[in-house]
Amino acid sequence: MNSKFFTILGWTATAAAMAMYVSYIPQIHNNLNGMKGNWLQPLVAAINCMLWVMYGLMKKPKRDWPITIANLPGIIFGLFTFVTSI
């Protein structure tokens, strides 16, 4: 397969991953309104995303920006969801 296909696939997957992490917003809203959700899944998601961001930034010879950008929201939303659920 050609390079252009993988570039498009990478950025499409990035958008899908970001949408997945933004979907934490309703759970955060519920947590803040006293309807606490499970804390484990968002904490594990945040840890997973931290590892992928490290991978994306440390990859040589060049950084893997789709992986890095896709997982940054997971750190933020995962940790915020975790903190509001405890």
* pLDDT given at position 2: 87
Return per-residue pLDDT of the chain as tens, 86 residues: 688 998 899 899 989 999 999 999 999 999 999 999 999 999 999 999 999 999 999 999 999 999 999 999 999 999 999 999 99
The alpha carbon dihedral of 33, 37, 39, 45 has a sign of negative
Cα–Cα distance measured from residue 61 to residue 66, given in angstroms and rounded to the nearest whole number: 15
Domain housing 36: 3-85
Count the Cβ atoms, other than its own, within 10 Å of residue 55: 14
Q: What are the residues whose beta carbons fall under 8 Å from the beta carbon of 80, sequence distance 6 or more?
A: 24, 28
Specify the pTM.
0.85
> For the chain, what is the domain count?
1
